[in-house]
């Protein structure tokens, strides 16, 4: 949660460390899929950048996939059609939309 476009560099660094742990946990559990929700921090805390997580996942062997979830209370993404537009914009094989 809260991986998209964090403006606070310290918080962003801490999230990336946590992401590394999630990817290790996924491998230990025998999966390559992690669900990540849209950000719901204030616009003063985040931007609409969202491809960084997918790029990091592509560096894993095998690549880590991310199921992107649009939260109805998301700051920038709060409907399924906006989430689908983002998946197309990111345009990486490991970043997909899941309707849950």
- Cα gap 11→94, rounded to integer Å: 24
Residue 67 backbone dihedrals phi, psi, to 5 degrees = -95, 115
62 preceded by a cis bond (ω within 30 of 0): yes
Encode the chain (100 residues) as per-residue pLDDT tens digits: 877 778 888 988 898 899 999 999 999 999 999 998 888 888 888 877 777 888 889 999 999 998 888 888 988 888 888 888 888 888 888 887 665 5
Output the pTM of the full model: 0.79
- Cα gap 9→26, rounded to integer Å: 25
């Amino acid at each position: 949660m809260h991986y998209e476009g964090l403006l606070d560099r310290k918080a962003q660094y801490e999230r990336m460390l946590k992401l590394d742990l999630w990817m290790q946990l996924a491998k230990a559990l025998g999966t390559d899929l992690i669900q990540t929700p849209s950000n719901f921090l204030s616009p003063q805390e985040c931007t609409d950048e969202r491809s960084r997580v997918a790029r990091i996942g592509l560096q894993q062997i095998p690549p880590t996939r991310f199921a992107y979830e649009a939260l109805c209370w998301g700051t920038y993404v709060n409907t399924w059609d906006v989430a689908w537009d983002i998946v197309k914009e990111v345009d990486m094989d490991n970043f997909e939309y899941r309707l849950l």
